[in-house]
Amino acid sequence: MATIPYDEFGLFHENAEEAGLPFDGPPQVVRREVATDDGRLISSLRWGADDPGLVLLHGGAQNAHTYDTVALALDTDLLAIDLPGHGHSDGGREGALDAGGMAADVAIAMEALAAPPVTLVGMSLGGMVAINVAASRPDLVSRLMLVDVTPGVDGSKAAHITAFIDGPPGFTSFDELLARTIEFNPTRSEASLRRGILHNAVQLDDGSWVWRWARHRVAPGAVRQDHAQMWDVLGSLEMPVMLVRGMSLGSVVDDEDEAMLLSRLPGARIERVEGAGHSVQGDQPLVLAGLIAGFSAPST
């Protein structure tokens, strides 16, 4: 079976073209890694020349490249981290992928590769990790943005996402993998989904494909998250907090989540994004980039 070529840094022109962004040549992006105390590697993409004051965390079963279009639009120094067990990062500590353990690893990467305190943006699972980082290491986080997630997001709200993630770990061909991805992402262009697969899956020697995160798939009991308790953790934060909520089909945040957030953090900012489902960075990347830029500004 033919091997499909993949250049990790050779697809940015597609992101720019699809979003209508100018593209004068490849952006300055490098892959950076840092070792944890137990020898695992946490990988990331550093955009720009300097250690950044902006850090982006992706959702479950995604990777740092989910923010490529957002990063192109921002055109600033930033760090997009592959969560443990995702992308190019190694698996979680002792095989677990709980938000608290991930937060400890993310904090190590932030200290080594960013310029804290930073604006920390977390989407979905990355948002839960970001809450843990902000609570356990407030010295690293000046502002916290949650993208379509709150501690109120439970299994029933995210059932459509879980159905996709719990699918086959491997596929006999790229076309089979693409067809399943299109089935669960009907509003996205085939070109963007194809690009996402190339970043998020690996072709094996026999020609079959496996999700990068599926290589670190763990038993359900190893994924430990007490979302109810996380409301108390979120409510204890003292830095500015913003919730960005997708308003289209696929979003997992509802009015009850908004109300609970404001009851715990009356000063929190809520932004509703029309035309975006759960993956706001994929559905409305330019809108999200504008919100990040405004929220990161010192005067905000």
| Domain regions of the chain by residue span | 12-296
Q: Mean pLDDT across the stretch 203-226?
A: 76
Residue type, 271: E
Q: What is the mean pLDDT of residues 190-198?
A: 95
Q: What pLDDT shows up at residue 226? A: 62
Query: What backbone phi and psi angles, to 5 degrees, belong to 204?
Result: -85, 170
Instruction: Over range 167-180, report the average pLDDT.
Output: 92
Torsion sign (Cα): 281, 79, 69, 91? negative
Residue 132 confidence (pLDDT):
97
- Cis preceding-peptide flag for 220 (omega within 30 of 0): no
Bridge partners for 173 per DSSP: none
Where would I find the H helices in the chain? Answer: 12-19, 68-74, 99-113, 125-136, 159-165, 174-184, 190-200, 227-235, 255-264, 280-283, 285-296
Number of C-beta neighbours around residue 225 at 10 A: 16
Q: Please state, in angstroms and rounded to a whole number, the distance separating the CA atoms of residues 34 and 269.
A: 33
**Catalytic residues, which ones?**
124, 148, 278
Residues 6+ apart with CB under 8 A from 145: 119, 120, 121, 122, 130, 241, 242, 243, 244, 291, 292, 295
b/e code 105-143 from CB counts within 10 Å (16+ = b) = bbbbbbeebbebbbbbbbbbbbbbbbbbbbbebeebbbb
pLDDT of residue 222: 44
Inform me whether the pLDDT recorded for 8 exceeds 60.
Answer: yes
Residue range 96-114: mean pLDDT, rounded: 94
* Category of 174 on φ-ψ map: left (φ > 0), alpha (ψ -120 to 50) or beta: alpha
Task: Give the β-pairing of 41-47 and 78-81.
Answer: antiparallel
What is the arithmetic mean of pLDDT over 234-256?
97
Closest CA to 254 of 145, 151, 144: 151
Mean pLDDT computed over 272-296: 97
Looking up tokens 């029933």 gives: 156
Given this model, what pLDDT does residue 11 score? 97
Answer yes or no: are the C-beta atoms of 12 and 27 closer than 8 Å: yes
Q: At what angle do helices 227-235 and 255-264 cross, to 10 degrees?
A: 40
The answer to whether the beta carbons of residues 125 and 83 sit under 8 Å apart is yes
Q: Give whichever of 88-97, 118-127, 152-161, 208-217 has the largest mean pLDDT.
A: 118-127
Residue 76 has pLDDT above 80, yes or no: yes
Question: 4 or 258, which is more confident?
Answer: 258
Q: What percent of the chain has pLDDT over 70?
A: 95
Topology of domain 12-296 in CATH is Rossmann fold (3.40.50)
Q: According to the model, what pLDDT value does residue 225 have? A: 55
pTM for the structure as a whole: 0.96
pLDDT reading at 228 higher than 80:
no
Please give the mean pLDDT across all residues of the chain.
93
Q: How confident is the model at residue 2 (pLDDT cuts 50, 70, 90)?
A: confident
pLDDT at 299: 60
Q: What is the mean pLDDT of residues 214-235?
A: 72
Residue 1's pLDDT band (boundaries 50, 70, 90)?
low
**Residue pLDDT, tens place only, 144-164:** 999 999 999 988 888 888 889
Confidence check: pLDDT of 42 > 70: yes
Contact 174, 203 (CB under 8 A): yes
Identify the band that residue 221 occupies on the pLDDT scale cut at 50, 70 and 90. very low
Contact 296, 54 (CB under 8 A): yes
Between 138 and 163, where is the model more confident?
A: 138
